[in-house]
């Protein structure tokens, strides 16, 4: 198939990761993939590093002259490549792709919604998603419910396709675990609790820090905290201020930017996703689960699809988070239950399954011509 993946995402966030990963899988499977990006963005750089064929189109502009130029550019690309599928991973420009389809360009239009913010449920948006797009892909059940009930998207046009994780890269690594724990001063009897994610308020670092501090005050002397991440929307100094306020500077370590993320994840005894909102795709959660680390999480976004209900807590609930971490640490039966549930979930979330489900969708659309 000839496929356009439209990834006009400025930052390399979960939406961009989902789109670039999918594009690479499709290209490696022998399909002709053209990735349309926003010039000069992290997403464009990552797509090029992955060896993908990219072209920049300014779909995010609000300038009428530039938008007209972008439309002309897209028309040229459509005439040159004649794609079977156009998959839009962002809302900006989606109306243009829908309009061009209505004007006679022959392609199947897919809107992939990898953002947890629901679209406006107005008449035009409902018409675009239900009457113009040939399919809508969502990455979690909550968004699926929204499209079914609020956007009135027909069930046959709605596809739930979770992202996949590279299990060749992310798996439990004993040697990596030992090396990282020695590097950061974690002993064999330490209980290392870790949060993997960019430094951003949404990720709940403050709540995780406070939960670990609470467990230490309750007598869990061997608990340690490992924050696997680096400066983005928040700085390391801001994170360190939260650590100092909680009084756990002596038991907390920050990884900084690392090339051995899989080894850092393997160094954990319990993983945490403490996000306050978002997590439509939850890349870090998949990586923690693939490394066979029991995961405790807030019940935002896709997380109820992935995590055992026994270890799901409300966002910002520090006591609940501490309780869930403590329960997994102290109750072997619960730990085994969580790991068994994760194993079942991860069997359906490999890259092979990600590609297979997407191709099932694309092929059904092409065969419907």
Residue ranges covered by each domain of the chain = 2-164+350-367, 174-346
Q: Give the strands of the sheet with 223-228, arranged side by side.
A: 252-254, 223-228, 191-196, 270-273, 295-298, 312-313
Q: How far apart are CA 111 and CA 105, in angstroms?
A: 17
Give me the pLDDT at residue 80, please: 97
Give the sign of the dihedral formed by CA 258, CA 261, CA 265, CA 266: negative
Nearest to 263 by CA among 308, 196, 347: 196
Q: How many angstroms separate the CA atoms of 198 and 230, rounded?
A: 6
Tell me the whole-structure pTM to 2 decimals. Answer: 0.92
CATH level 2 (architecture), domain 2-164+350-367: 3-Layer(aba) Sandwich (3.40)
174-346 CATH = 3.40.50.2000
Cα separations (Å) of 191 from 221, 269, 319? 9, 6, 19
Per DSSP, helices labelled H in the chain are 14-28, 42-49, 64-81, 94-102, 123-127, 141-149, 174-183, 205-217, 236-246, 261-266, 283-290, 303-306, 318-330, 332-346, 351-367
Pair type for strands 270-273 and 252-254: unpaired
Whole-angstrom Cα distance, residue 65 to residue 300? 40
Residue 90 has what pLDDT? 92
pLDDT of residue 19: 97
Asked if domains 2-164+350-367 and 174-346 share a fold, the reply is yes
pLDDT value of residue 369: 66
- Cα–Cα dist 223/42, whole Å: 36
For residue 81, the number of C-alpha atoms closer than 13 Å in the C-beta half-sphere is 25
One pLDDT digit (tens) per residue for the chain, 369 residues: 999 999 999 888 889 999 999 999 999 999 999 999 999 999 999 999 999 999 999 999 999 999 999 999 999 999 999 999 999 999 989 999 999 999 999 999 999 998 878 888 899 999 999 999 999 999 999 999 999 999 999 999 999 999 999 999 999 999 999 999 999 999 999 999 999 999 999 999 999 999 999 999 999 999 999 999 999 889 999 999 999 999 999 999 999 999 999 999 999 999 999 999 989 899 999 999 999 999 999 999 999 999 999 999 999 999 999 999 999 999 999 999 999 999 999 999 999 999 999 999 999 999 976
37 to 82, 129, 167, 214, 367: CA distances (angstroms): 18, 22, 27, 45, 28
Q: Residue 334 in contact with residue 327, Cβ under 8 Å?
A: yes
Picking from 15, 40, 251, 241, the residue whose alpha carbon sits closest to that of residue 113 is 15
């Amino acid at each position: 198939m000839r496929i356009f993946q439209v990834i006009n995402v400025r930052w390399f966030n979960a939406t961009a990761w989902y789109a670039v990963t999918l594009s690479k899988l499709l290209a490696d499977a022998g399909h002709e993939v053209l990735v349309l990006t926003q010039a000069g963005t992290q997403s464009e750089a990552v797509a090029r590093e992955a060896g993908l064929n990219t072209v920049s189109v300014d779909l995010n502009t609000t300038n009428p002259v530039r938008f007209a130029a972008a439309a002309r550019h897209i028309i040229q690309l459509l005439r040159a490549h004649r794609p079977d599928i156009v998959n839009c991973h962002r809302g900006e420009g989606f109306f243009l792709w829908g309009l061009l389809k209505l004007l006679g360009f022959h392609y199947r239009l897919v809107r992939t919604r990898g953002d947890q913010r629901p679209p406006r449920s107005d008449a035009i948006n409902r018409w675009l998603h239900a009457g113009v797009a040939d399919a809508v892909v969502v990455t979690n059940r909550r968004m699926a419910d929204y499209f079914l009930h609020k956007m009135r998207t027909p069930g046959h046009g709605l596809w739930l396709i979770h992202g996949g994780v590279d299990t060749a890269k992310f798996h439990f690594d004993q040697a990596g675990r030992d090396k990282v724990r020695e590097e950061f001063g974690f002993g064999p009897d330490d209980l290392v609790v870790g949060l993997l994610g960019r430094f951003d308020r949404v990720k709940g670092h403050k709540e995780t820090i406070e939960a670990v501090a609470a467990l230490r005050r309750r007598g869990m002397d061997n608990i340690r905290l490992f924050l696997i991440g680096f400066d983005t929307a928040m700085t390391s100094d801001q994170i360190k201020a939260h650590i100092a306020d909680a009084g756990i500077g002596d038991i907390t370590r920050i990884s900084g930017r690392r090339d051995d993320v899989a080894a850092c994840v393997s160094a954990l005894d319990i993983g945490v996703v403490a996000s306050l909102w978002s997590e439509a795709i939850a890349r870090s959660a998949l990586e923690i689960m693939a490394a066979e680390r029991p995961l405790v999480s807030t019940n935002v976004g896709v997380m109820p699809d992935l995590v055992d209900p026994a270890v799901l807590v409300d966002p910002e609930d520090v006591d609940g988070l501490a309780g869930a971490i403590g329960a997994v640490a102290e109750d072997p039966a619960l730990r085994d239950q969580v790991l068994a549930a994760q194993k079942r979930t991860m069997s359906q979330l490999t890259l092979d399954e990600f590609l297979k489900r997407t191709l099932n969708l694309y092929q059904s659309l092409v065969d419907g011509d």
